[in-house]
Amino acid sequence: MTASPVQRRDADSVRVLTIDRPERLNALDRDTLEALDAAFAAAADDPQVRVVVLTGAGPKAFVAGADIAQMAALTPIQAHEFSTLGQRLMRRIERLPKPVIAMVNGYALGGGLELAMACHLRIAADMARLGQPEVNLGLIPGFGGTQRLLRLAGRAAALELCLLGTPIDAARALQLGVVNRVVAAAELEAETMSVAAQLAAAAPLALRGILDAVLAGGECPIEEGLQFETARFGLLFASEDMREGSAAFLEKRKPQFRNR
């Protein structure tokens, strides 16, 4: 049996998924995309999992892009299938009903940056380099890079990264809003797991409402987004966790959220 290109481990209610092809800088081939898709579907369905952390194996890369060797040999039909699979995966991650953190431990290039941008938060090591170098291959980003970069960091950043194709360092990525936090490489895992633990202790239905509302808001006019927020706000008054959160505050204790 061949080893899966995606390793999984659980730390309390945090699921850590590690793309495990360090000899290829964790480049995304078809098998890896399929394994990731299955892993995220399983994480979504597992009630024990409250947060997902995604990272790459080895000291150098989160993901150095789509697997160029495999991609170069694709027929048009296979390229279409590859695209469908990749787009489905990115959308699945973006729409996951629980927070997903990309722990960017090195290069996040091309499909690797697109994967990180489909996650809800990005925490990067200070030595990470991020970019959309597809233009250097005569391509454009194909897993949503032009669209997510635009929405995440604005038109200037999207055009700079995609047109020039030159990777930027983590500090510049933070400045542009492409990542949320930058920490020393040695502290990346501790920092990421601390953020994950904070999210794991939060009310899951509230987190889900925030993810749904922010995602919907990025894709519709503000009036519709506000209506969506109001509906989700009202719905939470039917949850036990909302009662628990208010009661804990008034009783000056920590809330115990039960996802109900």
Q: Which residues bind ligand DAK (CB under 6 A)?
A: 24-25, 27, 64-69, 71, 79, 82-83, 86, 107, 109-111, 133-134, 137, 142-143
Catalytic residue among 23, 94, 114, 187: 114
Residue 127 CB, shortest distance to ligand DAK, in Å, is 12
Of 56 and 142, CB closest to ligand DAK? 142
Residues 6 or more apart whose CB falls under 8 angstroms from that of 201 comprise 257
Radius of gyration of the chain (CA): 19
* Two tokens, residue 40: 């995220």
The whole-angstrom separation of Cα 233 and Cα 18 is 34
Catalytic residue among 81, 94, 134, 224: 134
244 included as an active-site residue: no
Of 70 and 259, CB closest to ligand DAK? 70
Is residue 18 within 8 A of residue 6, CB to CB? The reply is: yes
Q: Nearest Cα to 111, choosing from 80, 90, 136, 81?
A: 90
Residue 132 CB, shortest distance to ligand DAK, in Å, is 8
The whole-angstrom separation of Cα 133 and Cα 110 is 6
Residue 60 CB, shortest distance to ligand DAK, in Å, is 6
134 included as an active-site residue: yes
Of 58 and 217, CB closest to ligand DAK? 58
Residues annotated as catalytic are: 114, 134
